[in-house]
A = this chain, B = another copy of it.
Amino acid sequence: MRRVQFILITVLALPILVCSQTQHETDSTVIRSIYTEVLANGECYENLEVLCKDIGARLSGSKEADKAIAWGKALLEEYGFKNVHLQDVEVPHWSRGDIEEGWIESKGEKHPTKICALGGSVGSGGPISGQVVEVKTFEDLEVLGREKVEGKIVFFNKAMDPVLINTGAAYGGAYYQRGKGASESAKYGAIGCIIRSLTHALDTFPHTGGMSYEDGVKRIPAAALSTVDARKLSKSLKQDPELKYMLHLSCVKYENKIQANVIGEIPGTEFPDQYIVVGGHLDSWDIGEGAHDDGAGIVQSIEVLRTMQALGIKLKRTLRVVLYINEENGNNGGKTYAERAKQSEMYHFAAIESDAGGFTPRGFRFDGQDHHYSTFKTWSDLFDPYNIHIFRRGHTGVDIGPLKDGRVALFGLVPDSQRYFDFHHSDNDRFENVNKRELELGAATVASLVYLIDSHLIP
């Protein structure tokens, strides 16, 4: 406790000390105070527990998403942030229903498999059954042709590439199966589509996630198999190419609903009309607890404001937290936020997103102007004591993406990516799989970035 108080005093005394300190020393002191505050007194882990355990999965359109919105608004108010309000967003409302079953039927025996409907899939209208064609790519489907696919269930079984160091790149390289596999299969007359779950882990958790149907193509049901079951099915097909797979999904699509982005602020002292946004997405998929995806980003973003307030760090610009709705299946939260900002001619100076899991932070990706990027890269020395070393251009975040206008500086927190897809979109994405220190370090890293953006970026 003595240490915290000492650093707090140092920060508050900055105006006095600044004449005898270099800017670099001042920045170092403030950043150290931020990490100390979050690691010693952080509240993001406890907040995540409430979000995961009291609410849990919270897909857009669900009652749980309504609860999460109410929880977020109440928490921002409890912290005393200003201008706390909801911003209406129209969101889709889809439910997987009560039934999701998949069986391998081979030589008179039935073998159950662990599956889950892909998000947005149609129901199967009762159990459907068909022979299985295993493919890895859309080219494989083309080679097989309608003759060999019609009336069957297509099984996409391309594993994520294990040799890529960035697991996000491996996910990107295998995503096509989930995103477009159903419509591509339907073009050749398939009656259903099952995919190997997008994860490096070999286990029994099926992983859901968004998919879309192509206009004018028959909509067939689509589900993900756990990787253990994908392996089993592939092996069974070699032994019995005539085996059948039975698929039963009870998904339903309802009318769109109105839900909301949740917003709160700490007003800027010099340029209150210029905004620095920190955010993540409040919705999650409908299985698991949405702990890493993206409960972590939500509680880290709130922690950034809590930390500034606790340390009395006065930012020139308004710091705004946005808990976006509907990242997972529409991004209507991010799109709506950017549209309204444009309509009301708000000046978004910078936006930062945390949506890659609550793992040890490694750095940031940046998207914006060259002179901002040059300044950004000079901060690597300040972050070195915290093992933050990635300062690259690249994709920053789905929610903040629509804000891109050639002027705003966009940043995405880059945590270590190795474990992310073990949990992503599955029942395994639970609070217990988030480490308190790793989560806190991410929050402190974003808070430090906010301080540096406000102090050093020049419009």
Output the residue of A3, A200, A201, A389 with the most chain B CB within 10 A: A389
Q: Does A90 contact B (CB under 8 A)?
A: no
Given contacts A435-B422, A436-B200, contact A165 B385 (CB under 8 A): yes
Task: Flag if B35 contacts A162 (CB, 8 Å).
Answer: no
Query: Is A360 on the interface with B (CB-CB < 8 A)?
Result: yes
A165 neighbours in B (Cβ, 8 Å) = 35, 385-387, 441
C-alpha gap A389/B162 in the complex (Å) = 21
Q: Are A39 and B436 touching (Cβ within 8 A)? A: no
Within 8 A of B (CB), among A9-67: 35-36, 39-40
Size of chain A's interface in residues, with CB distance under 8 A?
28
Residues of B within 8 A of A386 (CB): 165
The reply to whether the CB of A418 lies closer than 8 angstroms to some CB of chain B is: yes
Given A3-B163, A40-B162, A163-B40, also A419-B390 (CB < 8 A): no
Q: Is A416 a contact partner of B419 (Cβ separation < 8 A)?
A: no
The yes or no answer to A93 lying at the interface (CB within 8 A) is: no
Nearest chain B CB to A358's CB is how many angstroms away? 11
Do B3 and A39 have beta carbons less than 8 Å apart? no
Is the CB of A88 closer than 8 A to any CB of chain B? no
Q: Which residue of B lies closest to A167 (CB)?
A: B437
- Give the interface centre of A390, A422, A436 by most chain B CB atoms within 10 Å: A436
A435: which B residues are within 8 A, CB to CB? 418-419, 422
Contact of A163 among B35, B200, B436 (CB under 8 A): B35
The reply on A362 being an interface residue by CB < 8 A is yes
- Cα–Cα, bound, A167→B435 (Å): 13
Expressed in whole angstroms, the Cα–Cα distance for A452 and B437 within the complex equals 34
Docked complex Cα distance between A167 and B360 (Å): 13
Q: Distance (Å) between the CB of A193 and the closest chain B CB? A: 25
User: For the complex, is A242 an interface residue (Cβ under 8 Å from B)?
Assistant: no
The complex is assembled from copies of this chain, and their number is 2
Q: Residue A427 at the B interface, CB < 8 A?
A: no
A438 on interface, CB distance cutoff 8 Å: yes
**A432-443 near B? 1/0 per residue, CB < 8 Å:** 000111100100
Nearest CB on B from A287, distance (A): 21
The CA of A178 and the CA of B165, in the complex, are separated in Å by: 39
Please give, as numbers and ranges, the residues of chain B lying within 8 Å of A167 by CB-CB distance. Answer: 437
Determine if B437 and A39 form an interchain contact, defined as CB atoms under 8 angstroms apart.
Answer: no
- Chain B: minimal CB distance from A169 (Å): 12
The residue that A416 contacts in the complex, of B3, B162, B201, B360, with Cβ under 8 A, is B360
Contacts of A36 in B (CB 8 A): 163
* Chain A stretch 406-459: residues in CB contact (< 8 A) with chain B: 416, 418-419, 422, 435-438, 441
Q: Is the CB of A163 within 8 A of B39?
A: yes
* Interchain CA distance A201-B239 in the complex, whole Å: 48
Q: How far is the CA of A35 from the CA of B162 in the complex (A)?
A: 10
Contacts of A3 in B (CB 8 A): 163
Inside 8 A of A162's CB, which chain B residues have their CB?
39-40, 437
**Are B387 and A362 within 8 A (Cβ)?**
yes
Contacts of A418 in B (CB 8 A): 360, 435, 437-438, 441
Interface string of A158-173 (1 = CB under 8 A from B): 0000110101000000
Find chain B residues with CB under 8 A from A201 CB.
436
Interface residues in A124-169 (C-beta closer than 8 Å to B): 162-163, 165, 167
CB proximity of A293 to chain B, nearest CB, Å: 17
Q: Which residues of A contact B (CB under 8 A)?
A: 3-4, 35-36, 39-40, 162-163, 165, 167, 200-201, 360, 362, 385-387, 389-390, 416, 418-419, 422, 435-438, 441
Interface CB pairs A-B, < 8 A, 12: A39-B162, A39-B163, A165-B387, A165-B441, A200-B436, A200-B437, A360-B416, A360-B418, A362-B387, A387-B389, A389-B389, A418-B441
Supplied contacts A3-B163, A418-B435, A418-B438, 8 more A-B pairs, CB within 8 Å: A40-B162, A165-B441, A360-B418, A387-B389, A387-B416, A418-B437, A418-B441, A422-B435
Query: Top 3 nearest A-B pairs by Cβ distance?
Result: A389-B389, A36-B163, A418-B437
